[in-house]
Structure 1
Amino acid sequence: MNKPLDYILRKFISAGSLDVTFANGKTSHYQGTTPGPHAAMRLTTPAAERSLLLNPGLGFGESWMDGSITPLNCTLYDLLHVLMLNAMNPAGHIGESLAAAARYLRRKKIQFNPESRSRKNVAHHYDLGEPLYDLFLDKDRQYSCAYFRTGNETLDEAQEAKKHHIAAKLLLNRPDLSVLDIGCGWGGMALTLAKDYGATVTGVTLSTEQLRTARARAEAAALSDRVRFELMDYRHVSTQYDRIVSVGMFEHVGIAHYRTFFEKIRDCLTEDGVALIHSIGRNDGPGTTNPWIDKYIFPGGYSPCLSETFAAIEPTGLWVTDCEILRLHYAKTIAIWRDRFAKNRDKAKALYDERFCRMFEFYLAGAELSFRVQGHMNFQLQLTRSQTAVPLTRDYITGAENRA
């Protein structure tokens, strides 16, 4: 038995319980003082034990990927549920606490995302290939939090509702409004705003794969006269627009660039313009990105808290005319993605390999739990240059959604 790890686990597990079989075959039971889920795992190598002792934020995921951590009589999700729930314990894990403190000191450097690095970061994840994303996303390939008005919607229905919820906040109250879509993905939002609301949309992205698909979709929908897509960093946009929308892109800006981002929003909005920013966020103050996520999934990415977001907005003179917190919507979204990926795992393995599938399973399970037990959420911020750009009350949002 790894005695230092055993000692830490006895302090770490405060809710639920965990059984651990160490590399030497010995098993220990760790019981929390408050009710919670139960899970069990086997550590098959001393290296896995060391990684959990010294840097579990990175080491657990890597050990899972190489097969040296195995859930026993439970799923990976069950195991992560116990560990991520207990990670919120103030006593915590001293090894992870020290590693997190070191990451926090370096977070501006970790999230320094000039244009060249931003392109590389985007390609790392979003250019993996469309066949992969077709295995688990909705038909419109919305790779962001869906919107469950009742909680009983299908994924396609909830993603469609998300687009119309955002459109309502953009106050598309007259035809031919010009819209800038920053981080346009595969083009679904831009095409919806053009087709259903008569907007003229420019989408910008750093993903060559997404750009090709978005352009093809616009042509197939006979909307090329109303929608155009460009391979462009948001920092190079110079035209003013009536409306600006950005969904799931702010997480990739980097804290060192927040002021630049919101100044660009201000400069690119017309005087009576409206912007809507949809982003993952956190409710527990400024922090850092999990090192495994940063290395394998979203390099340079970070889920901001509202305090640091508002601090970057305030000097720009922009008005925050609406703020909505979506709490469990992304958890529900990712749960569906996770189920779909599991059903198509063999296809994913044929596209990549077993290690990739284990990586993606870990990513989806951890992402869902970050919203269920670790305080992640989504926020939508409506921004204007003028305090009179939108109506006095939020009634127009519901009205627009009902009409849609």
Structure 2
Amino acid sequence: MDKLFQDFFAGLIKAGSMEIETAEGHRFLVGDGSGEKIALRFNDRTAQIRLMVDPELHFGELFMDERIDVTEGSVYDALLLASENLMRPDIGPLRADGSGWVRLLQQARMGLRRFEQANDALRAKRNVAHHYDLDRGLYALFLDSDLQYSCAYFEADGQSLDEAQLAKKRHIAAKLMPGPGQRILDIGCGFGGMAIYLARYCDASVTGVTLSKAQLGVAKDRAAALGLSAATDFRMLDYREIDGCFNRIVSVGMFEHVGLHHYKSYFQKIAQLLDDDGVALIHTIGRASGPAATQPWIAKYIFPGGYIPGMSEILPAIERTGLFVTDVEVLRLHYADTMKAWREHFLARRDEAKALYDERFCRMWELYLAGSECAFRCEGLVVFQIQLAKKVDAVPLTRDYVGRGEAALRQREQAKASYRMAG
């Protein structure tokens, strides 16, 4: 059994240095000896078998249940090493070792992904509640002060998370080109930060919709505290139930929950809601490497019903709605750096998270943040910002307007800040 276990890991880890300690206390090294050594200890023999059966799913479960411990390095280090090895170009699905078996499982899951993302209105609400209706205090432990739970936009080295999240909102607003009094729809408004920014600095009237009770309450409270209740309208509503006509539509970090079956109807809804001169901006995680199945542990414990699409899955759905794609931007390592900041914040306040939940939850959440960061660093995950319009000339013909818009918004932010200080 130990020989099979060692061969499995030897096939999985070719580069780097990892020491494995079995439940019987035997140790062996895998990799080429380069880099800092990472060590794992298996605390029972069944854990070893379960890992070989389905490492992508069972490593997370075994780590949560303290049946695997990382004894040298961190869980982030272990996942990063595994990610770097799985992305090696020499790995093929027919290899009779750990890496080949993982690839075979990934291919099998590709065939099931449409069944796992049948996100009708009832299932969508249940999936959102699973993740976003956790104790609101949890998110305050690791997010920025505006509770932005999506990719930040790091404009310069050394920028803080708060600065980068503000830059993200500014960047999106500049692409939307909102004018005073315009009606804006925020699909999947989260804790309300983007909607409040548009109301506060663009003098817009913003409707935000979410399926999370916790997020809805926070968004309403924050708008009221800033005197923006009249300019914002936050609702508990599925995007399929929205009526009306909007000058601008924005959606940040929600498209990942739509599901493959519903892409065409999602963009049809945007086309229906957007006025003839309108502009929409969809900000979503995507796969630069093309379609793939959702990581199984993430699908089971973190984001049920979630799916990260390739560009080749998004654009055909848009083309069938008559909307023009007027701009596409790919943010590459911005989310990796966002996840790094979240992970570090969470670990710094881990005891507070444990007081809210328990040790198992903390191990789960650390694994989620660490694994997600690795995926953005090594596995081809990026963020797409896709700008849409009904008319080919709805936005300027060059991208200079984005920089000009950001500069104007910075001035408004500074003016508001100066006014508050004077007050």
Q: TM-score range by the shorter chain?
A: over 0.9
CA distance in 2, matches of 1:4, 1:109: 34
Q: Which residue of 2 aligns with 1:198?
A: 203
CA distance in 2, matches of 1:155, 1:3: 46
Q: Which residue of 1 aligns with 2:322?
A: 317
Aligned counterparts, 1:236-275, within 5 A: 236-275=241-280
Q: Which runs of 4+ in 1 moved over 6 A?
A: none
* Alpha-carbon displacement from aligned partner over 1:96-146 (angstroms, at most 9, x marks no partner): 223222211110010110000000000000000110000011111000000
- Which of 304-313 and 83-92 deviates more? 83-92
C-alpha deviation, 1:243, in angstroms:
0.2
1:48–1:63 CA contact under 8 A, matched in 2: yes
Q: Which residue of 2 aligns with 1:134?
A: 140
> How many residue pairs align between the two structures?
402
2:37–2:72 CA contact under 8 A, matched in 1: no
Q: Which residue of 1 aligns with 2:149?
A: 143
CA distance in 1, matches of 2:111, 2:32: 32
Q: Which residue of 2 aligns with 1:376?
A: 381
CA distance in 2, matches of 1:161, 1:201: 20
Q: Which residue of 2 aligns with 1:297?
A: 302
Instruction: Give the letter for the 2:319 counterpart.
Output: E
CA distance in 2, matches of 1:198, 1:57: 47
For structure 1, the 5+ residue unaligned runs are: none
Q: Which residue of 1 aligns with 2:174?
A: 168
C-alpha deviation, 1:37, in angstroms:
5.7
Instruction: Give the letter for the 1:141 counterpart.
Output: L
C-alpha deviation, 1:36, in angstroms:
5.7
CA distance in 1, matches of 2:187, 2:362: 30
1:275–1:382 CA contact under 8 A, matched in 2: yes
Secondary structure of the corresponding residue to residue 389 of structure 1: coil
CA distance in 1, matches of 2:352, 2:36: 32
Secondary structure of the corresponding residue to residue 383 of structure 2: strand
1:2–1:49 CA contact under 8 A, matched in 2: no
Aligned counterparts, 1:78-89, within 5 A: 78-89=77-88
1:15–1:86 CA contact under 8 A, matched in 2: yes
2:17–2:29 CA contact under 8 A, matched in 1: yes
For structure 2, the 5+ residue unaligned runs are: 93-97, 410-423
CA distance in 1, matches of 2:247, 2:375: 35
CA distance in 1, matches of 2:358, 2:339: 22
Aligned counterparts, 1:2-401, within 5 A: 2-32=2-32, 38-89=37-88, 90-91=91-92, 93-172=99-178, 174-401=179-406
C-alpha deviation, 1:234, in angstroms:
0.3
CA distance in 2, matches of 1:38, 1:376: 26
* Alpha-carbon displacement from aligned partner over 1:276-316 (angstroms, at most 9, x marks no partner): 00011111111011111011100001111111111211111
C-alpha deviation, 1:78, in angstroms:
1.1
C-alpha deviation, 1:14, in angstroms:
2.5
1:121–1:298 CA contact under 8 A, matched in 2: yes
Secondary structure of the corresponding residue to residue 346 of structure 2: helix
Alignment RMSD (CA, Å): 1.3
TM-score (norm 2): 0.93
1:8–1:94 CA contact under 8 A, matched in 2: no
CA distance in 1, matches of 2:2, 2:185: 55
1:183–1:247 CA contact under 8 A, matched in 2: yes
CA distance in 2, matches of 1:79, 1:188: 34
C-alpha deviation, 1:8, in angstroms:
2.2
Secondary structure of the corresponding residue to residue 278 of structure 2: strand
* Alpha-carbon displacement from aligned partner over 1:2-28 (angstroms, at most 9, x marks no partner): 332322222222221221111121111
State the identity as a percent. Answer: 51
CA distance in 1, matches of 2:259, 2:133: 20
TM-score (norm 1): 0.97
Secondary structure of the corresponding residue to residue 200 of structure 2: helix
2:153–2:334 CA contact under 8 A, matched in 1: yes
2:139–2:147 CA contact under 8 A, matched in 1: yes
CA distance in 2, matches of 1:284, 1:309: 14
CA distance in 2, matches of 1:287, 1:36: 30
CA distance in 2, matches of 1:36, 1:202: 51
Secondary structure of the corresponding residue to residue 275 of structure 1: strand
